[in-house]
Structure 1
Amino acid sequence: MAKRKKSTADDNDLSSEDVHPQFGISIQELEKLMQTRGHEGIKELKEIHGGLSGIEQKLKTNLITGLSGKEIDLSTRIATFGRNEIPQKSPPTFLCLMCDALKSWTLITLIICAIILFALSFYRPSEETLETKIKSKETNVEWIESAAIIIVVLVVVLVTAFSDWRNERQYHSFQSMIELNQKCNTIRESTVQQIPIKDIVVGDICEIKYGDVLPADGIVVQSNGLKVDEYSLTGDSDLIKKNESRDPFLLSGTCIMEGSGKMLVLAVGEHSQMGMIFKLLGTIKEENNRDKRTNDNKKQNTTVDTDVSEHLVKSESVEDAIINKHNASASQEVIPDNANQTSNEDDPIRFKVEKQSVLHTQLTKLNIQFRYAGMIIVILTILVLLVSFSIEELIQRREWGYKYWTQIVRYFITCITVFILIVPESLSTFATLSLTHIAKKMAMDNNLVRHLDACETIGNTTTICSNKTGILTTNYMTVVQVYVGENHWKNVENPAKEIIIPANTKEIIFEGVSVNSSYFSQLLPPEEYETLAKQVGNQTECSLLGFVGALGGNYDEIRRCYPEEKFVHVYKFKSARKYMSTVIQRPDSIVRMYTKGASEIILKKCKTILNRNGDIVPFSNFDYDHLVQTVIEPMACDGLRTICIAYRDFSSDDLPDWDDEANVVDQLTCICICGIEDPVRPEIPDAIAKCRNAGITVRMVTGDNVNTARSIALKCGIISANDDCLALEGKEFNQRIRSRPDGKIEQNLFDKIWPNLRVLASSSPQDKYVLVRGIMASKIYPIREVVAIIGSETNDVSALKAADVGFAMGIQGTDRAKEASDIILLDDNFNSIVKAVMWGRQVYDSIARTSQFKLTINFATILCVFIGACIVKESPLRVTQIFWINSIMATLASLALASEVSAEDLLTCKPYERTRPLISRTTMKNIIGHIFYQLVIMAFILFAGAKIFDIDDGRPVDSIYKPSKHFTIIFNVFVLMNLFNEINCRKIHGEKNVFRGIFTNSTFYGIWIVTFVIQIVLVQYGSFLFSCVALTFKQWMWCFLFGVSVLLWHQMINLIPTTCHMPKLGTHNIDEPASPDTSSNAGM
């Protein structure tokens, strides 16, 4: 925490010089006030600034109506107090990216060899022989090969830099998408508006509530039981109570854990406390020791929503200690059931599966395997070339000359090129390209990806633990049944006419619903072409407000009579208590507490009830059982959420201790029980069926009672009437998985339940966390389950982090839940998750397509060079041609294959296993088959091509500097075979029709045609640059015929059965999470 300073007169004089003429306070004074805080800060606020009202006047704002929202006023505030943004480091320039691309030792070595070769091409010995005199009169063309190598290397560098630059742009575009998704309720012109956090200015009045991460520094204007977690800045693990008098200072980056209220914004962006820490650590400006982003880190561990720790320079400074506390807070868990809470350090599952990227590990392993193979082949190639060259020179007894050095340098260049080919580093680049492409597609389907690794993991998902409200249902709630005045009204279409309620009971309902709900919840007029009112805020509360309106009440008028700042006390809703209570002072001197919540819980606290005349009568245990059986259970079986509304009056002369919640929220009088309907989304049954066909089990986790949950699950298709699936309440669930006296969970008991468990009702966030951990730790199946979970509350943070993939609800979810998630569900629709699974599986198929193409063309090239070195002592392919094949053509092919979409065909097969090899047996069969075919064709043309095509043989050593038609045909046939093999690689699961859907993908055939045209230009006009000679039409037809033959050969390969003897590459054995009962903290 920044060091506090004692205010002095001198400081005030200094800061007053910077006061804007429109405002009565400077940015320096506001920064100093927020730095001081505590008792000294409160003293300074009151004595120097005139308290809250003084700050209000100095900032020219209004605590009730907020700012005017005029553009001139907002622009002036931004110019004076700054914008609510913490500027990130500027992305590397294109020149820097080129320099990074040139840091590869293979390219540097290649350039050095090319320069040596270039120099040797102009070197002539002093003693001229007849041969050198003749050569000196000829045009010197030896330098062209070395110059071409340098040019091609530069082109490769440019392509690599462009790819990195493109990734940087996409990275920042995702950052912008996430920032735009972060919004805050702000009062402007007396209306509550949702504006992006970056548009908040000093002087704004922001509404804050449970689960919000504060977007700026400010002071409390109104507090309804506000409690804040300031661990991220102060290191204090206790929740801090905030109110206008005790501790009004609110810090950006801290989280609201209880209550609600309003805040006046005092500092934004880099002038806030969090922004100042970033500035001290050099995050805003260029650091002296700029962290290098290596390609692997940038491409495989890219986190779209970067954590603070990614930008830190480790040191022993105080600022580092502060920010390290902030980093630690990212993993802080808020679980109501403290008895079974374990620390992060002792959590065996969290640390083994939280950030594990299977794809990254597979690619790393694959690169290591090929690196070793590359070193062996390079050594063998150089030895074969040097030994055969030396033997030939010794046999012919030629005198050692400068031209031999040229030949040796050329051999080294060939071997370095082979090494570049053998290590498929570009697969890592393509993996990022594929993940980014998929992430953009997922964003279009309302899945905002925060961590790119989640794109691959969601494709492995076998279990989805889903909320009910808003995900499976429409989240537009209405009261359809009500029990009031000893009558159960089962069809509430027009309650004002159909329901007969005593006047006093009706008034109590109006007042109880209006004041005992968040004032954020409200009904707005229907939008154009809409018939239903727009519900804003909590949907359950909105349904009750709609019920009040249907009965003829006006909640706005009642709320104006009882503004929030005049509430006596508020017990905000929490998942642990499942109810909310509000205490008000009525005009008749009665202090009344209204309570609403889960009907079973509230009714147990009721001792009286309002009868049909509106009189208070006793409410016994027998009455409770009768209501449960005749009202609550039938409502629940109809899929309704049951809410009980009650109240209690206190004497103004004998008020209780409001902190004694257990005794205060008791002895209640039941007013009514409402049955609220939240219809199942019409597309959900089909989406659940798709998940079932895709091998994914959907489990519903909800706070509703088991009857309501079972009814909704039946409508969704999660369970059927005749299956043996389990639907348990949280209490029974915990009893079944615990038998020890210490209450710890036993995995063997858990394993008896979870395979058939489909519905977990009346559950807490801790139950959700236990369910996720238990399924992931289970070893009853050979391959462990991959779990995705949907969360919306701050208490869901633990489960979101523990799961393989955490989805946060974008509409209902809290800021804390979104920060803990991997993917934000923008429309809160389960159908979007099904689409995310489809795109996740697309990742593996995209990489498999590219791997098949890249490995085929690379190994075919390598073996062609190696065999040529062994047999004819020369590579049939020139270095520049190899670079065109490997760096340019393969890159274009990767882009084309990345655009291929398998669509919903992927949802008809089982999930990909976590241990699934990157190169499957089918893919390996295709790779080996096409390499064999291409080598046979290349060898045939190399040895028999001169006779068949009636051209000069290009194999004599004397023709090494001059291109020949023979070697041009070899190069052209090789490229065309791989170009047509690119079409084969579109289908990787043994499909026979490789042309299916090709004309629906304009990107693929567009790139394919462009590559073909470039190849024609290179052959016909490449001349010495690519060692080519223009071919005749007949020769082109022969080359085209060899290329097309690859399509027929692929059909023959498909006929070969895939056996277990076929090798696999890139397999990855993942450390499975330890069972809870085998760890030191097995209690979960």
Structure 2
Amino acid sequence: MPVPTGESAGGRPLPDWHALSAEEVRREVGTDPAGLSTGEAEERLQRYGKNVLREEARETRLQVFLRQFKSILIVILIIAAAVSFLVGEALDAAAILIIVVLNAILGYSQEWQAGEAIEALKKMLVQHAVVVRDGERREIDAAGIVPGDVVLLEMGERVPADIYIADATSLEVDEAPLTGESSPVDKAPGPLPAGTALAERSNMAFAGTTVTNGRGRGVAVATGMQTEFGRIAGLSQRVADETTPLARQMDRLGRDLGLIALGIAVLVVAVGLLQQRGLLEMFLVGVSLAVAVIPEGLPAVVTLTLAIGIKTMMRRNCLIRHLPASETLGAVSVICTDKTGTLTRNEMTVVRVRTPDTEVAVTGAGYLPMGEFLLEEKPIDPLADPGLRQFLRTVLLCNHATLALEEGGWRILGTPTEGALVVAAEKAGLSRDDVPEAVKEFSFNSTRKRMTIIYPEEGGDVAHVKGAPEVLLARSSRLLRGGSAVPLTDEDRDAILREIEEYASQGLRVLGAACRPLPAGIEWTADTVETDLVFLGFAGIVDPPRPEAAEAIRLCRSAGIDVIMITGDNPLTAYAVARDLGLSSEGAMTGADLEALGDDELEGRLKTTKVLSRVTAEHKLRVIDILSRDREVIAMTGDGVNDAPALKKASIGIAMGIKGTDAAKESSDMVLVDDNFASIVAGVEEGRREYDNIARFTRYLLSSNVGELVAIVGALLLGLPLILIPVQILWINLVTDGLTALALGLEPAERDVMQRRPRDPQESILTRSAYLVILVLGAWLGLLTIYVFMGHYAVDLDRARTMAFTGLIIFELYNVLNFRSFRYPLHRIGFFSNPALLLAILGSLALQALVVYVPIFNVFLGTAPLTLADWGLLALLGLPVLLAGEAYKIFRLRVRGRSPASG
């Protein structure tokens, strides 16, 4: 019994299938041209398993929900709730736990919805396949294919397994999902040298690719996870998920706050005991301090801000699968992007036509049959030029592709290259509808490199030929000049070959055309027909860049983001596309070049060479690893299965939603619903805005908590009663601070957000300058609160606490305006540019008024009614907090000579 998925029948390692003949392959896998018997196929299915990819099990709803509690900050909050409950503060404990659970529900809801959206985007890779079993043609579920099955391939079908091609007729396969090759690959039987690159194995058809032309017959040599598709999918599953920069920073912040809370609480309790205060009283003070240090509302505000940002990104066609990924996009410093279908349209387009008389440019892109023919930048009627008219007519007649208008736009049925020629002819006014019935065809294959179709016309039969221009030129004796066939001289031949090379050097795929009126009575064979041809010219065909991609790359450059093109395509083509898009690169490196370089050498080359071609999945992972050495935050875009491992390894993987394979989507953090590279730029801007806002409200909340801490500790050191009780601190942290912090999360992006370099992912969300601002403002708020309390506590403790409680809230509401921008004063960013924040401030004041005047709140929160004069006094005391912040920003701008544009 052969073992085709691991080793040969004799226990030897499997050979390179492409290096064998068809007979050797059949012998190796134990089959023959009549295919397997039903019994043998069933036995092999039991032995090798179904022809399906092994998928990582999707997380259950419970697993997704429990993952929301992994944050250290959440764990600290749960511990604080437990301590509060043990000391009898059940209300405090309940309030904290409610916030924790609501935060988890919100995070779970967002991530599960994203997962459901991905499931909706997934499509079955292969459903059915045609095989030969018991000598008969049968259609079976593709999952039942086994090594040794004889498989039949037809145009438009997905290849169901890795297949050695035994017979082929004009067989072409689109391998872009596997290799990144933009053009369909010609397939033909016959052994190839051992070690032939994957993209050049013309005698193999690989699972997950699509037959775009012709038909073929072959032997399945690998199924399921043993296919090239499966091998890369398995490589992806072995790559560990990367922790996002924001998750790392929030965990670090949680650890720091936990240690600070514990240290301060222990220190203050010790000081109180030395002052001979009661143990229970000091324990309650310690709990109050712990509650004051930890910003209970921070996890919920972060989650809500990210969720709102995700909704914004979705409107920009960016589907985020995990909450922190949206912010990670804003930290990206390098984008490693595929070319085909990402930077380009994945729609071949004729851009130039060269005939012996003239050269014209063709406008328009993709399969939309609208465009002009330009001679020296002036529109012409292509049908008025005899040579151009005959060239276009021949490429239309010698063609099997058809152009169809379907829902969503124009679409080509057939190979992209043939489709490009049909579209060019349609732009000139010719139509496939006018094509007569052919009488004979000599099909294209990779050996002949040409195709001929014979049509009956007035005056006799005419052979129309298209193919590699140098091949047609070698079989031509004349060329069409001035509407007449004239002898083809050696000088003409040399000049045409030089122009063909020039086209190829510019990354164009070159296709030639020729024709020949057939003499009556000759035998119609390929050799007799395809000789003495009249050479008509050639076309330059390109997969055009997306029109918005060049601007997206320019914006990336202004934002300090490096763009590296990583593709399986031809290096000349890749470099030409990069040049057209304005992507500066010192040439292009191939996969072979990468293998020849050490890690240090490659790291140096990547600083100047931004085009990598003919690369494999392993090469992409190596590039990601090397870029990570410089602490880069790396985004990887892609649509093919070959992209999946790098998508998972990168800081943020970005898959294509339309052309992307299931493997790519499952390995990604974000899916571009419209496959548009420019959407990434919008995502980067949104991600940067999110991070800026998270930094804003984190610093604001901590400055508020420092104010509470200073008020409590200061009062203790001054021998005063407890200035704020735990439930009042919770009210501030969860309700009033929470509303304004969330509104800060809606702050619009600053005008220069895309002119700044990416932030250092290792830098803490709290820089040294941020700590200084937090401490200074927090101390100011705390001392003001003590001042207010000292003026009233001797007369009425509840009223004094209410004044301190309300005063601290008013002071913090002034303070929140300071954190709208770290650099620009209010008149520069616009006082009304964030209406949500103004509403949050008014809402916080209204809620505090309820707490002060509604009797039930007086009982629960220990408050007492205040007079209008009390409110006025507190408003006047807090105003300098805002004025000082504004004065500092204006002073700093003037000293540094900055303007908003310069940032």
Query: CA shift at 1:933, angstroms?
Result: 0.5
Q: CA deviation at 1:168?
A: 2.5
Q: Which of 366, 379, 398 is 2:253 aligned to?
A: 366
How far off its partner does 1:938 sit? Answer: 2.2
Residue 629 of structure 1 is matched in structure 2 by 498
* 1:1018 corresponding residue in structure 2: 851
Q: Counterpart of 1:908 in structure 2: which amino acid?
A: Q
1:633 partner amino acid: E
Q: Partner letter of residue 1026 of structure 1?
A: L
Cα pair 2:706 2:782 within 8 Å, conserved? no
1:179 counterpart = 2:119: yes
Using a 3 Å threshold, how does the CA distance of structure 1 residues 853 and 605 change in structure 2: closer, same or farther?
A: farther
1:728 corresponds to 2:563: no
- Preserved CA contact (<8 Å) 2:635 2:653: yes
Q: Shift in Å at residue 653 of structure 1?
A: 14
Matches within 5 A, 1:686-765: 686-700=551-565, 716-719=581-584, 726-730=585-589, 744-758=596-610, 760=611, 763-765=613-615
Distance 1:552 1:884, change over 3 A: closer
SS across alignment from 2:858: coil
| SS of residue paired to 2:209 | strand
Is residue 2:903 matched to residue 1:1044? no
In the other structure, the counterpart of 1:299 is: none
> 2-side partners of 1:218 and 1:483: how far apart?
50
Letter in 2 for 1:442: M
The equivalent of 1:1034 in structure 2 is 869
1:443 equivalent among 307, 314, 326: 314
User: What aligned pairs does 1:788-807 form with structure 2 within 5 A after superposition?
Assistant: 788-807=635-654
Equivalent residues in 2 for 1:910-925, closer than 5 Å: 910-925=757-772
> CA distance change for structure 1 residues 488 and 94 in 2, over 3 Å: closer, same or farther?
closer
1:993 aligns with 2:821: no
SS in 2 for 1:991: coil
Alignment of 1:411-422 (within 5 A): 411-422=282-293
Q: Is there any run of 5+ residues in structure 2 with no aligned partner, and where? A: 1-34, 44-56, 131-139, 146-150, 168-176, 179-205, 214-222, 362-372, 457-462, 517-522, 527-532, 894-903
Pick one of 404, 410, 413 that aligns with 1:523: 404
User: Taking structure 1 as the reference length, what is the TM-score of the superposition?
Assistant: 0.58
Of 799, 816, 829, 1:982 maps to 816
What amino acid maps onto 2:626 in structure 1?
A
Name the counterpart of 1:777. Answer: 626
CA contact (8 A) 1:965 1:1030 kept: yes
| Amino acid in the other structure paired with 1:858 | N
| CA distance in 2: counterparts of 1:595 and 1:870, whole angstroms | 93
RMSD: 5.6
Match of 2:396 among 496, 501, 510: 510
Which is worse superposed, 417-426 or 484-493? Answer: 484-493
* Matching residue of 1:21: none
Q: Choose from 544, 565, 569 the match for 2:421.
A: 544
What is the CA–CA distance in structure 2 between the aligned matches of 1:804 and 1:626, rounded to whole Å?
A: 51
For residues 855-866 of structure 1, what are the structure 2 equivalents within 5 Å? Answer: 855-866=702-713
Cα distance change of structure 1 residues 814 and 88 upon mapping to structure 2, 3 Å threshold: closer
Residue 477 of structure 1 contacts residue 542 of structure 1 at CA under 8 Å; is this kept in 2? Answer: yes
State the 1:842 CA deviation: 2.0
Write out per-residue CA displacement over residues 659-708 of structure 1, whole angstroms, 9 at most, x where no aligned residue: xxxxxxxxx99985312366666655544443332222344567787787
- Aligned equivalent of 2:244, options 333, 357, 381: 357
Task: Please list the CA deviations of residues 873-926 of structure 1 after superposition, one character each: whole Å capped at 9, or x if unmatched.
Answer: 632001210110122333323321211121542112111112222102232221
> 2:742 maps to what in 1?
895
1:371/1:620 Cα in 2 relative to 1: closer, same or farther (>3 Å)?
farther
Q: Which of 707, 718, 724 lines up with 1:877 in the alignment?
A: 724
Select the residue among 499, 502, 511 that pairs with 1:644. 511
Structure 1: 5+ residue stretches without partners: 1-36, 46-85, 115-148, 185-196, 206-213, 231-237, 244-252, 263-273, 275-320, 334-343, 393-406, 572-578, 656-667, 720-725, 738-742, 955-963, 1059-1084
Instruction: Give the drift of 1:447.
Output: 1.9
User: Who is 1:1003 aligned against?
Assistant: 836
State the one-letter code of the partner of 2:744: L
Cα offset for 1:791? Answer: 2.6
Superposed CA deviations along residues 444-495 of structure 1, whole A, max 9, x for unmatched, are 1122223444323332333334455655566676434224578655546777
The residue identity in structure 2 corresponding to 1:857 is S
Taking the aligned partners of 1:834 and 1:442, their CA distance within structure 2 comes to 11
What is the rounded CA distance, in whole Å, between the counterparts of 1:1056 and 1:842 in structure 2? 25
- Name the counterpart of 1:166: 106
- Asked if the contact 1:102–1:157 (Cα under 8 Å) also holds between the matched residues in 2, the reply is no
C-alpha displacement of 1:991: 2.1
Aligned counterparts of 1:580 and 1:381: Cα–Cα separation in 2: 89
* Cα distance in 2 for residues equivalent to 1:240 and 1:925: 68
Q: Residues 363-387 of structure 1: CA distance to partner in whole angstroms, max 9, x if unpaired?
A: 2222112222222222223333444
Q: 2:235 aligns with which of 332, 351, 363?
A: 332
Give the paired residue count. Answer: 750
Kindly provide the amino acid, as one letter, of the partner of residue 557 in structure 2: R
- When residues 366 and 570 of structure 1 are mapped into structure 2, their CA distance, relative to the original with a 3 A threshold, is farther
SS in 1 for 2:861: coil
Q: Does 1:929 align with 2:796?
A: no
| Distance of aligned partners of 1:478 and 1:106 in 2 relative to their CA distance in 1, 3 Å threshold | closer
Alpha-carbon contact 2:395-2:422 (below 8 Å) kept: no
The Cα of 1:524 is off from its aligned counterpart by 1.3
CA separation of 1:896 and 1:547: change in aligned 2, threshold 3 A: same
Read off the aligned partner of 1:365 and give its amino acid letter: R
The answer to whether the 8 Å contact 2:394/2:465 transfers is no
* 8 Å CA contact 2:327, 2:687 repeated in 1: yes
What is residue 111 of structure 1 aligned with on the other side?
Answer: 85
3-state DSSP class of the match of 2:311?
helix
Query: Following the alignment from structure 1 to structure 2, what is the Cα–Cα distance between the partners of residues 437 and 215?
Result: 43
1:258 aligns with 2:209: yes
Distance in 2, matches of 1:559 and 1:180, equals 44
- CA spacing shift, 1:228–1:682, aligned 2, 3 Å: closer
Q: Match of 2:368?
A: none
Q: Equivalent residue for 2:479?
A: 612
Q: CA distance change for structure 1 residues 386 and 703 in 2, over 3 Å: closer, same or farther?
A: closer
Contact 1:983 1:994 in 2 (8 A): no
CA contact (8 A) 2:317 2:672 kept: yes
Amino acid in the other structure paired with 2:496: L
1:375 aligns with: 262
